[in-house]
C-alpha cells in the first residue's frame, strides 16, 4: 500500500504540474484571445463544442477506461480497441456532417454549418490516440502526459492568438482546438512504443464494449446535460450573452476540471489495483476527497471574491458582464469533487449500471431546475444550477456509504471543514477590502495574500485534514532531503 501511495503521490504531483503548466498557458492565451475577439466568437465556439463533445462521447465508447481497468491485457485487445475507435470516428463524423445544418438552424447562425463540419474532423485525430492515452494512464506515466499536454497547449495557443490578431475571428478558436488535438496525438505516438497489429477479436470487443457501452451512454447523456445550459442560453439569448457565459465557465473550468482531472488520472489506475479491498478503497477515497476540497474550495471562492478587480485588470469593459456569471459558477463548482471521485469509485467497482442510474437522477434534477429557472434569466439559471448540484450529490454519497462504508457523517465532515474555513477567510477578506477601498490591482494583490494567510491559519487551528496531509507530507519530504544532504560519518 505504501508503494501504491507513493505512485499516487508522484502521479498527483505530475498531474498538478501538468495543470499549472498547460492550464497556466491556457489562461495566458485566453487573456490574449479575449483582447482580440468579441464575446460573440466565444458564443459560436460554445455552440460548436456541443456537437463535437456529443460525437466524441459516442466515438470513444469507454474503451480507454476498459483498457485501464482490465487486469490482463494483450496486443489483440489493444488492436481491437484501436480499430473500433477508428471505425466509430468515421460513423460519428458522418453524423456530425449531416446534423450541422440542423444545428445551425436551431441557433439561427448559418455560419455554424462550415464551422461544425471542419471542427468535426478532430474526431479522426482523437480516435488515433485513445489507446495510447489509456496505456500511459494505465502505466501511470504522468510525466509523459504532462509533456504532451503542455506542448500541445502552447502550440495551439500560439496559433490561435496569431490568427485572432490577424482577424480570423471564431476560426482562431477552431484552429486552437484542432492544433491541440493534432500535436497531442502526434506526441503520444512518439512517446509510446505500442503500434496496432492487423488483428481483431470479437470476444475482446464484446468484453470492452460491454464495460464501456454504459459509460458511453452515460458520457453522451452527460454531454447533453453539461451543455444543456449552453443549448438553452444559446437558443433564448444572443451569441454575446452565450459567449459571456461560456467564457466565465471556461475560466471556472480551468480550476475545477483540471484539478479533478489531475487527481482522477493519478488515482483511477491505482484504485483499480485495490478494487477488491474495500477498506483500502475507503482510505484512498477519503484522502482524495479531503485533498480536493482543501484545494478547490479556496481557489473557487477567492476567484469569486476577486472576479471584479481581476476582470478590470485583464480584460476590457465588454467582458465585465461575465463577472456575476463566474461568481455563481464558482460556487456551483465547489461540489464537483463529490461527483467526479464517486464516478471513479463506481468504475473501479465495475458498477457501470449505477453510474448510468445515478447519472440519470443527476441530469433529471438539473434539467428540471433549469426548466423552472429559465423565466428568471441567466442569474436564475445559475442559481438553479447551484441547487441542483447540491441535491444531486446525495445519491452518490449514499452509495459511497453502501459500497465502501464511507458514512454520511464522515463525508460531511471531510467536505464541510475546508468549506467553512474558506468561507470564513473569504468573509474576512471581503470586509478588509471594503474597509480599504483599494484600486483593482491593489485589491487583487492584498485580497489574494490576505485570503491565503487567513485560510491557512484557520485550517491549522481547525485541523483541516487536507491541510494536515499536505503539511505532513511536506515535512516528511523536507526531512528526507535534509538526511540526504548530511555528510556521511566515517566508521
| pLDDT tens track for 176-187 | 989 988 998 999
Distance from C-alpha of 169 to C-alpha of 239, rounded to nearest angstrom? 14
Residue 435 has pLDDT above 80, yes or no: yes
Residue 242 has pLDDT above 70, yes or no: yes
Q: pLDDT (tens digit, 9 = 90+) per residue, 214-235?
A: 667 767 777 777 778 888 888 8
Of the candidates 347, 351, 345, the residue with the CA atom closest to the CA atom of residue 282: 345
For 76, 125, 173, 361, 413, the CA distances from 215, given in Å and listed in that order, are: 22, 21, 29, 15, 30
Residue 335 has pLDDT above 80, yes or no: yes
Tell me what pLDDT residue 60 has. Answer: 60
| Chain centroid, CA 205 distance in Å | 28
Contact 60, 213 (CB under 8 A): no
Enter the pTM of the model.
Answer: 0.70
Average pLDDT over residues 308-331: 89
Domains of the chain, by residue range, sit at 16-236
Residue in the block written with cell 439561427: 108
Distance from C-alpha of 156 to C-alpha of 154, rounded to nearest angstrom? 6
Q: pLDDT (tens digit, 9 = 90+) per residue, 382-404?
A: 999 999 988 988 888 888 888 88
Phi-psi region of 130 (alpha: psi -120 to 50; beta: other; left: phi over 0): alpha
Strands (E) located in 136-281: none
Residue % of the chain over a pLDDT of 70: 83
Distance from C-alpha of 198 to C-alpha of 202, rounded to nearest angstrom? 14
Distance from C-alpha of 474 to C-alpha of 398, rounded to nearest angstrom? 33
Residue 477 has pLDDT above 50, yes or no: no
Q: Is 384 helix (H, G, I), strand (E, B) or coil?
A: helix
Phi-psi region of 164 (alpha: psi -120 to 50; beta: other; left: phi over 0): alpha
Contact 39, 318 (CB under 8 A): yes
End-to-end CA distance of the chain: 35
Tell me what pLDDT residue 345 has. Answer: 78
Amino acid at each position: 500500500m505504501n508503494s501504491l501511495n507513493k505512485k499516487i503521490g508522484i502521479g498527483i504531483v505530475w498531474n498538478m504540474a501538468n495543470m499549472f503548466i498547460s492550464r497556466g498557458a491556457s489562461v495566458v492565451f485566453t487573456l490574449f484571445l479575449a483582447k482580440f475577439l468579441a464575446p460573440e466568437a466565444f458564443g459560436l465556439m460554445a455552440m460548436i463544442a456541443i456537437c463535437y463533445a456529443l460525437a466524441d462521447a459516442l466515438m470513444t465508447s469507454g474503451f480507454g477506461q476498459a483498457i485501464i481497468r482490465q487486469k490482463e491485457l494483450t496486443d489483440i485487445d489493444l488492436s481491437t480497441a484501436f480499430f473500433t475507435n477508428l471505425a466509430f470516428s468515421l460513423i460519428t463524423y458522418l453524423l456530425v456532417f449531416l446534423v450541422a445544418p440542423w444545428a445551425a438552424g436551431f441557433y439561427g447562425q448559418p455560419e455554424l454549418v462550415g464551422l461544425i463540419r471542419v471542427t468535426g474532423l478532430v474526431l479522426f485525430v482523437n480516435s488515433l490516440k485513445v489507446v495510447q492515452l489509456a496505456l500511459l494512464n494505465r502505466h501511470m506515466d504522468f510525466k509523459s502526459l504532462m509533456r504532451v499536454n503542455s506542448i500541445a497547449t502552447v502550440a495551439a495557443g500560439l496559433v490561435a492568438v496569431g490568427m485572432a490578431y490577424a482577424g480570423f475571428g471564431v476560426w482562431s478558436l477552431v484552429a486552437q482546438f484542432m492544433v491541440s488535438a493534432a500535436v497531442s496525438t502526434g506526441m503520444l505516438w512518439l512517446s509510446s512504443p505500442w503500434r496496432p497489429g492487423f488483428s481483431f477479436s470479437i470476444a475482446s470487443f464484446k468484453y470492452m464494449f460491454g464495460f464501456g457501452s454504459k459509460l458511453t451512454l452515460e458520457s453522451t447523456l452527460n454531454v447533453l446535460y453539461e451543455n444543456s445550459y449552453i443549448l438553452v442560453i444559446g437558443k433564448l439569448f444572443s451569441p454575446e450573452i452565450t459567449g459571456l457565459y461560456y467564457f466565465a465557465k471556461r475560466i471556472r473550468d480551468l480550476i475545477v476540471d483540471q484539478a479533478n482531472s489531475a487527481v482522477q488520472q493519478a488515482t483511477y489506475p491505482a484504485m483499480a489495483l485495490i478494487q477488491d479491498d474495500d477498506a483500502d478503497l475507503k482510505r484512498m477515497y477519503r484522502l482524495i476527497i479531503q485533498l480536493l476540497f482543501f484545494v478547490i474550495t479556496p481557489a473557487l471562492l477567492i476567484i469569486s471574491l476577486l472576479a471584479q478587480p481581476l476582470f478590470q485588470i485583464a480584460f476590457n469593459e465588454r467582458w465585465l458582464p461575465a463577472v456575476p456569471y463566474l461568481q455563481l459558477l464558482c460556487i456551483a463548482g465547489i461540489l464537483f469533487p463529490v461527483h467526479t471521485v464517486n464516478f471513479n469509485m463506481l468504475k473501479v467497482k465495475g458498477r457501470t449500471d449505477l453510474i448510468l442510474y445515478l447519472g440519470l437522477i443527476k441530469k433529471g434534477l438539473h434539467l428540471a431546475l433549469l426548466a423552472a429557472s429559465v423565466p428568471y434569466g441567466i442569474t436564475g439559471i445559475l442559481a438553479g444550477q447551484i441547487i441542483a448540484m447540491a441535491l444531486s450529490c446525495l445519491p452518490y454519497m449514499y452509495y459511497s456509504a453502501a459500497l465502501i462504508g464511507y458514512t454520511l457523517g464522515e463525508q460531511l465532515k471531510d467536505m464541510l471543514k475546508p468549506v467553512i474555513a474558506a468561507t470564513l477567510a473569504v468573509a474576512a477578506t471581503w470586509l478588509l477590502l471594503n474597509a480599504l477601498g483599494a484600486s483593482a490591482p491593489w485589491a487583487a494583490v492584498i485580497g489574494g495574500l490576505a485570503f491565503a494567510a487567513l485560510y491557512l491559519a484557520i485550517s491549522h487551528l481547525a485541523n483541516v485534514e487536507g491541510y494536515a496531509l499536505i503539511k505532513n507530507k511536506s515535512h516528511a519530504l523536507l526531512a528526507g532531503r535534509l538526511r540526504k544532504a548530511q555528510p556521511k560519518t566515517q566508521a
